[in-house]
Amino acid sequence: MKWKASKISTMRTWGLLLVLLGMGLMVFGTAGILLFGEIGKIIAGVFMVIGLIACTVSMAVYFYVGMLSTSAPVIECPECGKRTKMLGETDRCMYCHTVLTFNAGQATEGVES
């Protein structure tokens, strides 16, 4: 499954989407001044605050992912041979998206009795 990504990459993607959403809301709010005149200043203020909150939440997401990333064990992917970080019991390789696990009961291949 090429569409699945590792947990760290997925959280970083959500952080990026929040930044883009926040910036887009702030630009949209600023356009309210041009389109609606005097009431547009109120619209701009509301959208600026909402956009700022989205950017702040994005910063918190990036900080959280950074803290998780520092404590995540680095392993070598058996499929592509690159070093990747793993969160939890199962995760995916950041490069080839192979399912990785530390738990032998959840492994699908290469388990020796």
Question: Which residue reads 């887009």 in tokens?
Answer: 24
Q: Which structure tokens are listed for 83?
A: 């070093």
Pair type for strands 99-101 and 90-92: antiparallel
Instruction: Count Cβ atoms below 10 Å from residue 51 Cβ, excluding itself.
Output: 21
Residue 57's Cβ-count burial label (10 Å; 0-12, 13-18, 19+) is middle
pTM of the model: 0.78
Q: What is the pLDDT of residues 59-103, one digit of tens each?
A: 999 999 999 999 889 989 888 889 999 888 888 888 888 888 887
> 111: pLDDT confidence band, cut at 50, 70 and 90?
very low
Q: What is the pLDDT of residues 7-36, one digit of tens each?
A: 888 999 999 999 999 999 999 999 888 888
Q: What gap in Å lies between CA 21 and CA 55, rounded to an integer?
A: 8
pLDDT of residue 103: 74
Give the 3-state secondary structure of residue 83.
strand
